Amino acid sequence: MKKLKFVLFIFVLLTSFLLIGDFFKTQISAVEMSDKSFTVNVTTILEDGNSVSSTIPNQAFGKKDLTIDLTTPIGQGYQFVFYIVNGKVYRNQNQEFMVTSNLEVVAVLKPTGQNVAVFVDANGALVGFDYVVGTGVPTAPSTASLSKPGYAIDGDQPWSIPVAAISSDTIYVANYVKQSADEVTISVTNGTGGGTFSYNSVVTVTTTDEGFGYWKDDKNQIVSYQRDYSFTAIKNRSLTAVAAAEAAVPVVSLVDASGIRTGHNSYLGQYELPDGYQLLEAGFLFSDVYVTNLTLDTPNVQIVQSTVVFSQTNEFLRSATASNTRLVRAYATVQQGENPSVTYYSGIQTPATNSGLMIWEVYGAGGNTGAYYDRDYVVLYNGASSAINLTGYTIQYASSDKLNYNVKCELEGTIAAGSYFVVAESTKGSNGTHLPNYVNQYSTLGFGANNGKIALTNDNVAIIQESLLTNVVDLVGYGSTANFEPNPTGALSVTTSAKRNSTTDTNNNSVDFTVGALDESSLGYLPAGTFYTISFNSNGGSAVESITYVPVGSTITLPINPTKTGYAFAGWYTDEGLSTAFDASTPITSDLTLYAKWTPLPQYTVSFDLNGGNSSAIPSQTVYQGEKLTEPTPAPTHETKIFVGWFTQAEGGTQWNFSTDTVSQTATLFAQWSDTAPTPTATIDTAGKYTNGIGDGLIPAERLSITKNNEKTVNVYFYKKSSTTDTIFNNSAWEIRLYKDKLSNKDGGELKIEVVGCLITKITVNTTTTYSYTINGGDDINVKNKVVTFPSGVADVTIKNTATNTVQISDIVIEYVENP
């Protein structure tokens, strides 16, 4: 195997990751550090076998003028040689050090007439030292314990220079050789210096363009404002000199160097400071959750301060065992003169992975006009080496301009290693063909046709904070959207989906997915095995869709029963003669057609008795058993009384509800009358009206269920205010939901109710929770059923969430009078 020798101080960069081992060390943020104090440990080496340790406690963060007091040893006749701090040698005895963390300082001195030889590892760590008199030959320490992954100590020359007689103080650096001749390709646009270089060598690119502004890399991040830009050849890179009128400012860049150490993620940071700036601290930020802006102050951020910086290029490297890290960012905290310190950041990057559960394909226009397929779907892929139990995972969705998600599907079942799992919308639309592939699970999906964002989560808690997506396993944003990794895919359409390009997840939607045309061959997610189709012949009833791709030996869930006017559904049968009923628990072993059996329904006649009214006679209605009646219009009249409604008896009895009551026998309904008009009343709820959320303002009529005993117009308005969501007014439980204030200032979601031309005199609010709310700014209400009266009447009533939880309202009843 060919060995490559290279300049030793470059290797300090490559090996610095060993300082943190196989885990990330979490530290407090720079903002918090300003209130902390640190300890400086000083080891003073005087001569062979003679060293002194001391401590300088309570040093404030940012202290720039720390000096080491060597008065005592120098007074004893020792001479100062140099300091070693974080692998860097300082030859000025009065060197001022910056305090940004606990600091280890090695001060090397020597007796008069002697020279000292110091032996250090490539990362600056002290290996040993030896003092010689005059021009003696120092004794080098053993290198047997020194090792770096992928490298070995050079057997011919283990130290940077031969160990021979010295006439002055000398530093020896461990000399490593790489075990293979790897090469790195650097591409340059609008400049020179590109080509193929030995791995870990220093490369300098340059440009002579008069309008030069800065260098940018293939991730579009600015890396330097200098015409001559130097860096270490760790990974293939593309650099472009950009013409721009840019003033140089501190800049921090980041290169994902993963792959240089097996089983680890590696990251190379670099900073560039204009004249007048001083570095206080540099390092990396790591987050295992998605956040919109990763900084030193992000909750739960992992801050890894670099202890070694390669001074030739201002680069710093860190590696750690591959983990669930989602976001990585380099940072540098700097100070200009006496001004307050400022932290600069690189762009945010996401490490690539090729294992685990991920979203594979998304289609959101199912059933729309011109749609290729009749329902929305999402496909998952298991890139792990073993099966994954999906219990506990959910599919969540949020529209492109919203921050909050709805749980669309709680997953069930198991996804085998290297296999797909198809989740489709249970209700098909009116356009498009049926999905031709095997569907593992149906659910109440419903995605945006062109834009939106879909999250795969490892719990069933709805995501309500864009800034901290702690439960997200994978996130796909498509089109114009607010969340993505970190760039969205293109917009989808009725004939296109977003489909992953490979099993490698770079956590960049725009790179990982391609938006392309749909066709039946593109949905090849059918697992191995034998499958059958179950068809349904409804025998004149409503159509029933076939069940396709039923695995051999499995059972089916029967569809919703069909309907047929004048008949009651009597079950499915396996033969046209309707002699053998189908048992849904029977394993499927072949294609099968099932036939609907019907039983004729009896017809009943319902008559209408005016019970003293003077209007024209109302015709009777004949309907099938179980059907509803049509409410007669106009309402009947009486010479002196007011019509109350239709009842099952001439006096008393039960009022007939034409919206819900059904006929089960021949009957007569009686008009009932009152000497006075009933109090105008309206009941407000959302029964049967669920769809996704709405914005501020008047709630559309189709989103409400309002039952009135008069013809007055009732308007209901919804306002987000400072609540944690701006999307939900009602949910699938048919509740009116008012969400809490995200800042806990009692300014959550609210409803305003008015009746045109009337004053509200009474309101009854029925809730399924006891969380607090107010009515027209009154005291907090913490009961499930609350009645408030307004003796003089009010033009409108406002219900506001003042709780720290969601107020869930089942219905609201109001009474009102004409506004005089």
pLDDT digits over 748-766, tens only?
888 999 999 999 999 999 9
In the chain, count H helices and then E strands: 4, 55
188 DSSP β-pair partners: 239
Single-letter amino acid, residue 59: Q
Count of beta carbons in the 10 Å neighbourhood of residue 574: 16
Is the pLDDT score of 139 beyond 90?
yes
Using the CB atoms, write b or e for 273-306: b if 16+ within 10 Å: beeebebbbbbbbbbebbbeebebebeebbbbbb
Regarding beta strands 78-85 and 103-111, do their DSSP bridges make them parallel or antiparallel, or are they unpaired? antiparallel
pLDDT of residue 181: 62
> Which residue would you say has higher pLDDT here, 105 or 403?
105
pLDDT of residue 189: 95
Select the highest-mean-pLDDT range: 262-266, 543-547, 576-580.
576-580
Query: What is the arithmetic mean of pLDDT over 274-278?
Result: 91
- Single out the residue of 361, 420, 398, 363 nearest to residue 484, CA to CA: 398
Instruction: Report whether 192 contacts 27 (CB < 8 A).
Output: no
Instruction: Report whether 738 contacts 765 (CB < 8 A).
Output: no
> Distance between CA atoms of 320 and 20, rounded to whole angstroms?
8
pLDDT confidence of 261, banded at 50, 70, 90?
low
pLDDT of residue 6: 27
| Alpha-carbon distances of 295 from 125, 279, 302, 332, 445, rounded to whole Å | 30, 18, 10, 11, 35
pLDDT of residue 754: 97
Q: What's the pLDDT tens digit per position in 349-369?
A: 776 665 578 999 999 998 889
pLDDT of residue 355: 55
The DSSP letter of residue 219 is T
pLDDT confidence of 213, banded at 50, 70, 90?
very high
Instruction: Report whether 57 contacts 39 (CB < 8 A).
Output: yes
pLDDT confidence of 430, banded at 50, 70, 90?
confident
> Which residue would you say has higher pLDDT here, 110 or 123?
110
| Alpha-carbon distances of 651 from 86, 654, 670, 671, rounded to whole Å | 97, 9, 8, 9
Q: What's the pLDDT tens digit per position in 547-589?
A: 887 888 888 889 889 999 999 999 999 999 999 999 999 999 9
pLDDT confidence of 31, banded at 50, 70, 90?
very low
Q: In this structure, which long-range contacts are made by residues 125-133, counting pairs with CB atoms below 8 Å and at least 24 apart in sequence?
A: 125/87, 126/84, 127/174, 129/45, 129/48, 130/48, 131/47, 131/48, 132/166
Query: What is the arithmetic mean of pLDDT over 287-312?
Result: 77
Select the highest-mean-pLDDT range: 88-102, 523-537, 564-578.
564-578
> Distance between CA atoms of 141 and 48, rounded to whole angstroms?
13
Q: Which backbone phi and psi does 194 adopt, to 5 degrees?
A: -75, 175
Residue with tokens 């969400």: 739
Encoded tokens for 378: 């999402």
Is the pLDDT score of 254 beyond 80?
yes
pLDDT of residue 768: 85
Single-letter amino acid, residue 186: I
| Low-confidence winner among 41-50, 392-401, 481-490, 803-812 (lowest mean pLDDT) | 481-490
> Distance between CA atoms of 491 and 497, rounded to whole angstroms?
9
Predicted TM-score (pTM) of this structure: 0.47
pLDDT of residue 728: 47
> Distance between CA atoms of 483 and 376, rounded to whole angstroms?
20
Domains of the chain: 8-178 (no CATH), 183-345 (no CATH), 357-522 (2.60.40), 531-600 (2.60.40.4270), 681-818 (2.60.120)
| Low-confidence winner among 29-38, 491-500, 509-518 (lowest mean pLDDT) | 29-38
- Single out the residue of 88, 126, 103, 101 nearest to residue 305, CA to CA: 101
Q: What is the 3 state secondary structure string of 402-444?
A: CCCCEEEEECCCEECCCCEEEEEECCCCCCCECCCCCCCEEEC
> Which residue would you say has higher pLDDT here, 740 or 465?
740
Instruction: Report whether 680 contacts 709 (CB < 8 A).
Output: yes
Helix, coil or strand: residue 575:
coil
Using the CB atoms, write b or e for 210-239: b if 16+ within 10 Å: eebbbbbbebebbbbbbeebbbbbbbebeb
pLDDT of residue 3: 26
Is the pLDDT score of 479 beyond 70?
yes
- Single out the residue of 632, 628, 673 nearest to residue 650, CA to CA: 673
Encoded tokens for 384: 């792990």
